[in-house]
């Protein structure tokens, strides 16, 4: 029998995860894991090494040490040198992390908890994009705009009197910033202060070789940081298109748009991606006259029906959507922007440029470390978050992976596990995505076109929302739910939804795809009546019946 000390468990459920990981090792006959004691007793064949067991524990997200060796270190004899990766823990391991956003923090917490000495380097504001200038402030602003819109207009205006809102932008901005400051302190700054194994360094880092960083501190001095393993999590920044005259104007990126002290009378938006459409609708609902210039169509990388549905919804709200339109030149004079386009000149007091985000890797001197990037400057990583250099990892928006904070955090955690000697992969096959417009857009898995590019023959159904009782009860049937299945087996491989609260239904679809459910199995599940997620069941039923001929809550 081997006895292991397990680090990182916080409850009995953790003990169950560790037990399953250990019992999955070939040659292990049984494992008894006790959360209160932090131990695991393993009955295994003679050929099963401690290193193999430790790697299995690390792969589950925890750390294992040899309980007998721990007792020796406690006083019986000096510890012999050993490799931390083989042990499955971080003792003696030096890890450098560049950045302090979702990926960086997840990795730092995981690695420090396993005993590694972590140096976290941040050149700007602690917390990265999401909490400071991305997800959190944008969703607060979008929610405020939603409330303003409902006071001005709703499906129930015949019975509830309309009250045009007075938008006090200074009060909204103060409320927004207060919550941002609170979350940054609670979820980032205070955690760093409480972690003894994490040293924070404020400055700009660049590689001088494959195991060394030079950090220019805020006072101008340079600090050298050596490392055994490194995670690059430097995020991304707004990408600015090369439009004549643009760089000489006071245009906004999303950062300035979220922090603006006033709502402009007119707002022009260059771009058609998630940030562009979310902020365009928010500003329109807060009082701006908004014009969107889309080089192609709205959300052109998605299923075409998504862009069509969102364009129709925006035009219903008097948002001017100009598709297949580009600005050839931008001017700014007397407080007014003039955009010269093939559709004529467009004027606005403010201009938002939201044409995507570029990886923040240019100043890292990656070439001296041998780290490869793609044409955009994104670090190329495998599913273990490892770059082409074995001891250098990357996660989050600076990589070639999808730019979502939950992908970044999941990547950071898995990178830390792997730096500690584990074997954790990031599976993006059922990655949900949500756009917080109204109606919301939510997707997971493959679109019809993406499946065909992989030579997968598909069978698809699109359910109009006038077939969904919740949508009828809300008097809002804008949008659809589309299911994509693989021909022959009926397995669900993709879902696209445009609907009110689509983001709240997409996780059920993600779980169905992850568990390789068929549409027949999905159609047979119990869904609560008068919820939007019931639309998934109804859409699945359309593969075998006419749902318009069912009673309200027919199974």
Strands 198-209 and 236-238: unpaired
Q: CA 446 to CA 201: how far, in whole Å?
A: 41
Length of the chain (residues): 555
The alpha carbon of residue 535 and the mean position of all alpha carbons in its chain are separated, in whole angstroms, by 25
Reply yes or no on whether 130 is catalytic: yes
CA distances, 301 to each of 113, 124, 295 (Å): 40, 32, 12
Q: What angle do CA 33, 36, 37 make, to 5 degrees?
A: 70
Q: Which two tokens stand for residue 459?
A: 């069978």
CA distance 399 to 394: 6
3 state DSSP class of 502: helix
The catalytically annotated residue of 1, 105, 135, 141 is: 135
Eight-class DSSP state of 22: H
Catalytic site residue from 9, 105, 141, 532:
9
Active-site residue identified among 141, 406, 431, 552: 552
Among the options 130, 141, 230, 517, which is catalytic?
A: 130
The strand pairing partners of 236, in sequence order, are 359
- What are the structure tokens assigned to 105, written together? 């923090």
Q: What are phi and psi of 468, to 5 degrees?
A: -105, 115
**Residue 188 bears catalytic tag:** no
Taking the C-alpha atoms of residue 238 and residue 241, their distance in angstroms, rounded to an integer, is 10
Token duo for residue 24: 């999955």
**HSE on the CB side for 545, CA within 13 Å?**
15
Q: How far apart are CA 280 and CA 286, in angstroms?
A: 10
Active-site residue flag, 62: yes
Catalytic residue status for 11: yes
* Structure-derived torsion over alpha carbons of residues 213, 217, 220, 223, reported in degrees to the nearest 10: -40
| Residue 507 DSSP SS3 | helix
Q: Name the DSSP class of 189.
A: I
Give the residue from 426, 420, 423 showing the smallest Cα distance to 401. Answer: 426
The single-letter DSSP state of residue 301 is T
Around Cβ 320, how many Cβ atoms within 10 Å?
Answer: 16
Own/partner pairs for 369-374, CB < 8 Å, 24+ apart? 369/207, 369/209, 369/210, 370/210, 371/207, 371/232, 374/400
Token pair for residue 426?
């990031």
- Examine the residue annotation and report whether 398 is marked as an active-site residue of this protein: no
Q: Mapping DSSP to helix (H, G, I), strand (E, B) and coil, where does residue 170 land?
A: helix
Joined together, the tokens standing for residue 48 give 């099963």
CA distances from 86 to 47, 50, 54, 66, 358 (A): 16, 9, 8, 11, 37
Peptide bond preceding 17 in cis form (omega within 30 of 0): no
Q: Which of 141, 517, 532, 553 is catalytic?
A: 553
Q: Is 553 a catalytic residue?
A: yes
Question: Could you tell me if 422 and 482 are in contact, meaning their C-beta atoms sit under 8 angstroms apart?
Answer: no
Catalytic residue of the set 1, 35, 62, 283: 62
Distance CA 451, CA 437 (A): 26
| Cα 202 from Cα 67, distance rounded (Å) | 38
Catalytic residues: 9, 11, 14, 62, 130, 135, 552-553
């Amino acid at each position: 029998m081997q006895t292991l000390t397990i680090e990182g468990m916080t409850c009995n459920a953790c003990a169950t995860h560790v037990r399953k990981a250990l019992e999955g090792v070939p040659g292990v006959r049984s494992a008894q894991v006790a959360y209160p004691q932090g131990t695991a007793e393993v009955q295994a064949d003679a050929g099963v090494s401690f290193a193999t067991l430790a790697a299995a524990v690390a792969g589950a997200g925890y750390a294992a040490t040899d309980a007998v060796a721990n007792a020796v270190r406690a006083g019986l004899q000096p510890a012999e040198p050993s490799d931390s990766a083989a042990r499955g823990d971080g003792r003696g391991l030096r890890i450098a992390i560049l950045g302090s956003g979702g990926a960086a923090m997840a990795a730092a917490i995981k690695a420090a908890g396993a005993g590694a000495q972590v140096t976290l380097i941040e050149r700007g504001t602690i917390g990265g994009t999401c909490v400071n200038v991305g997800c959190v402030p944008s969703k607060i602003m979008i929610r405020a705009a939603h409330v303003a819109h409902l006071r001005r207009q709703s499906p129930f205006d015949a019975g509830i009197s309309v009250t045009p809102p007075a938008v006090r932008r200074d009060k909204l901005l103060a409320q927004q910033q207060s919550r941002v400051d609170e979350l940054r302190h609670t979820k980032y700054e205070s955690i760093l202060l409480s972690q003894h194994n994490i040293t924070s360094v404020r400055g700009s880092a660049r590689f001088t070789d494959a195991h060394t960083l030079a950090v220019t501190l805020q006072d101008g001095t340079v600090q050298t940081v050596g490392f055994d393993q490194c995670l690059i999590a430097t995020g991304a920044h707004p990408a600015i298109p090369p439009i004549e005259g643009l760089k000489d104007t006071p245009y906004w990126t999303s950062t300035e748009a979220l922090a603006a002290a006033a709502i402009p009378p007119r707002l022009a938006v260059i771009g058609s991606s998630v940030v562009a459409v979310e902020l365009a609708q928010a500003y329109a609902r807060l009082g701006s006259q908004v014009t969107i210039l889309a080089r192609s169509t709205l959300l052109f990388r998605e299923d075409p029906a998504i862009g069509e549905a969102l364009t129709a919804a925006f035009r219903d709200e008097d948002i001017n959507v100009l598709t297949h339109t580009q600005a050839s030149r931008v001017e700014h004079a007397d407080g007014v922007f003039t955009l010269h386009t093939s559709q004529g000149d467009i004027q606005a007091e403010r201009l938002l440029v939201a044409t995507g985000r570029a990886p923040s890797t240019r100043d890292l001197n990656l070439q001296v470390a041998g780290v490869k990037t793609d044409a955009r400057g994104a670090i190329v990583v495998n599913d273990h978050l490892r770059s082409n250099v074995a001891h250098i990892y990357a996660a989050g928006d600076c990589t070639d992976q999808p730019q979502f904070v939950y992908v970044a955090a999941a990547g950071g955690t898995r990178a830390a596990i792997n730096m500690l000697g584990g074997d954790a992969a990031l599976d993006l096959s059922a990655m949900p995505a949500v756009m917080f417009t109204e109606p919301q857009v939510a997707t997971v898995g493959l679109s019809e076109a993406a499946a065909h590019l992989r030579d997968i023959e598909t069978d698809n159904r699109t359910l109009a929302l006038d077939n969904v009782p919740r949508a009828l009860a809300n008097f809002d049937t804008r949008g659809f739910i589309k299911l994509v299945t693989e021909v022959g087996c009926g397995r669900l491989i993709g879902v696209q939804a445009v609907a009110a609260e689509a983001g709240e239904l997409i996780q059920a679809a993600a779980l169905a795809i992850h568990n390789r459910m068929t549409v027949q199995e999905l159609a047979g599940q119990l869904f609560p009546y008068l919820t939007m997620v019931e639309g998934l069941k109804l859409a699945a039923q359309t593969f075998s019946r006419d749902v318009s001929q069912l009673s309200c809550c027919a199974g």
